[in-house]
Amino acid sequence: MTILAISGSPSPDSRTQLVLSHVLSLLAQRGLATELLALPTLSGEALIRADTTAPSIEDALSKVARARVVIVGTPIYKAAYTGLLKAFLDLLPQDGFDGKIALPVATGGSLAHLLALDYALRPVLQALGTEAVLPSVFALDREVVRRPEGGAVFEEPLRARLSASAERIASFTERFFPVPYPTANALRDTTPTTIAA
């Protein structure tokens, strides 16, 4: 059972990625398996051409397929999520998030676009078949203070929001995906499609 965080920021020193890494480290402390997928590491040409046979894209799509929980992070660009994230989400099959739990996360310069996550990203995650989209987390730039030696300090009340969010993921994970997680076969409906009279 993997928890995958997808970072849709094109920036090399991304605040979004720092926030995602922090949430993943809180989850790892609870013994959960975590992974980060930074979209700028994928082939740009393959993304633009929607080439799902490119090795980096194939690998990323299989990470999404394997994950039970997906944390989708993006900076707010022009009052919406980034084009980079959109390019990647467009490569997923229509049921690409089927049965998964998703957490939308954004960083932004202004509270004016706080709702962008819920009116722009949340419906897309829902349309991809997500079982449960958890309450979004929005981080203001000034709440994520980069440290010169790397990493960041998360100002309150963001720090508390991130802890609460990690707590929520852990509790949903325990409820939805108990260990050992039943195999796909165990969940398959084996009742006959036609019932004899």
Residue 170: both structure tokens together:
């852990």
Joined together, the tokens standing for residue 140 give 């203001």
Rounded to whole angstroms, how far apart are CA atoms 77 and 85?
A: 11
Q: Is 155 in the site for ligand FMN (CB under 6 A)?
A: no
The answer to whether 22 contacts ligand FMN (rule: CB under 6 A) is no
Q: Which stretch binds ligand FMN (CB under 6 A): 30-38, 94-102, 107-115, 156-164?
A: 107-115
Q: What is the spatial distance between Cα 111 and Cα 159, in angstroms, rounded to a whole number?
A: 17
Q: Does 29 bind ligand FMN (CB under 6 A)?
A: no
* CA 168/CA 29 separation, integer angstroms: 14
**Taking CB under 6 A as the rule, does residue 174 contact ligand FMN?**
no
Does 104 participate in binding ligand FMN (rule CB under 6 A)?
A: no
Instruction: List the one residue from 3, 5, 14, 169 that touches ligand FMN (CB under 6 A).
Output: 14
Stretch that binds ligand FMN, among 48-56, 102-110, 119-127, 186-194 (CB under 6 A): 102-110
| Cα distances (angstroms) measured from residue 175 to each of 27, 73, 109, 133 | 15, 24, 35, 15
Give the DSSP letter of residue 154.
E
Minimum distance, C-beta of residue 168 to ligand FMN, in the bound complex (Å)? 22
Report if residue 62 touches ligand FMN, rule: CB under 6 A.
no
CB of 49 to ligand FMN, least distance (A): 23
Q: Any contact of residue 110 with ligand FMN (CB under 6 A)?
A: yes
String of b and e for 70-83 (b: at least 16 CB within 10 Å)? bbbbbbbbeebbbe
The reply on whether position 86 binds ligand FMN by CB under 6 A is no
Kindly state whether residue 76 participates in binding ligand FMN, applying the rule CB under 6 A. yes
Q: Which of 44, 55, 93, 109 binds ligand FMN (CB under 6 A)?
A: 109
E strand or H helix at 152: strand 152-154
Which of these ranges, 20-28, 60-68, 74-82, 150-158, lies near ligand FMN under the rule CB under 6 A? 74-82
Map 68-126 to HEC letters: EEEEEEEECECCECCHHHHHHHCCCCCCCCECCEEEEEEEECCHHHCCHHHHHHHHHHH
- The site for ligand FMN (CB under 6 A) is made up of 9, 11, 14-16, 75-79, 107-110, 113, 141
